[in-house]
Amino acid sequence: MMTLTNQGPQLRDYQMTIAEPVSLSGIGVHSGTPVSMTFLPSDANTGIVFHRIDPAGTSHAIRALVSEVGTTDLSTTLANRDGVTISTVEHVMAAIAGAGIDNLIIEIDGPEVPIVDGTSAAFLAAFDQAGFAPQTAKRRFIRVLKPSRIEAGESWAEFLPYDGTRYEVEIDFETPVIGRQTFSGDMSEAVFRDEISRARTFGFMRDVEKLWAAGLALASSLDNSLVIGDDNNVINPGGLRFRDEFVRHKTLDAVGDLALAGAPFIGCFRSHRGGHRLNAMALRALLADHSAFEIVEAAGHDRGAPLIAVNAPVFAPWAV
């Protein structure tokens, strides 16, 4: 058995939702359309569920699970069995995971989560405004038992056993302003808020016209993206928020993509030259191998109680 040594969002004993509804509006970075979201408290054991509201007022439920992931081109898109989609979910999912929220209903009136400033900060601020409500149900975790690795060309990602929740993310770009950068650290609410949540999504000016022609990045701007110009320098006024902001944002994306496991994981996630597609592939590979993980929860009611394995079949709907 493992004793809980970290009481951050990853290893808290009990589930949590928000205390009251809160709304947020913005624009979809790819679609360029205005969108509004309302976050609602939800019962224990319901997880994170999007409700896309169409113009007629009909609600379409989409579970925030890797089994519902559709396309992963430039962002992560969820789709239900009826083909209803919600795209660019990674930043809000990262905020949900970083804040330690387990159960939430998200009503959204458009096809894409608003980009706001290209980070998770606005979503965290909305959750802080709503407040947090602890629940009586125990929190469950995916504990990694053995290495699980996938490779795609020069890219790879893997889960390893680890006493805590850790990310080791490395990127490698030929562009000198980025180059090779690595983020390595245990993830907690404080680390996510202070070191990850404000890192902006990024792109290259040379790619903009191609994206526009493909109907993508229609609302991308210096207000919501870190842009590298033709001279290979950042053109945003004020420059970088962090010296290694690029890899911090890639870590933010990984936190959001892996939140689609349906439960926080206990282990170390490592990736090299990764992205949304690789993150989804790695998570699917882990959950497809039932010998690579187990589902655990706190054994008792005392803070810091050891974790014990519980019935894996309860977790089966989340696996692929």
- Of 191, 192, 168, give the one whose Cα is nearest residue 181: 168
Looking at the fold, whether 159 and 281 belong to one and the same domain comes out as yes
Q: Is residue 62 part of a domain?
A: yes
Which residue do the tokens 């919501």 mark? Answer: 224
Task: Give the confidence band of 4 by pLDDT, cuts at 50, 70, 90.
Answer: very low
Q: Is 91 annotated as contributing to ligand binding?
A: yes
Mean pLDDT score, 76-94: 96
Q: Is residue 68 part of a domain?
A: yes
d(CA 216, CA 30) in angstroms, rounded, equals 4
Q: How many CA atoms lie within 13 A of 23 on its CB side?
A: 8
Q: What is the CATH number of the domain that holds 85?
A: 3.30.230.20
From the list 30, 276, 290, 301, the catalytic residue is: 276
The count of structural domains within the chain is: 2
Q: Is 290 annotated as contributing to ligand binding?
A: no
Q: Is residue 314 part of a domain?
A: no
d(CA 143, CA 165) in angstroms, rounded, equals 10
Q: Is residue 318 part of a domain?
A: no
276 is catalytic: yes
Q: What is the CATH number of the domain that holds 223?
A: 3.30.1700.10
Looking at the fold, whether 119 and 144 belong to one and the same domain comes out as no
**pLDDT of 110 strictly over 70:** yes
Using one digit for the tens of pLDDT, what is the confidence trace for 162-198?
999 999 999 999 999 999 999 999 999 999 999 999 9
Q: Is 186 annotated as contributing to ligand binding?
A: no
The residue segments making up the domain with residue 190 are 140-309
Looking at the fold, whether 181 and 250 belong to one and the same domain comes out as yes
Looking at the fold, whether 102 and 245 belong to one and the same domain comes out as no
Using one digit for the tens of pLDDT, what is the confidence trace for 50-65?
999 998 889 999 999 9
Q: Which of 105, 138, 171 is the last residue of a domain?
A: 138
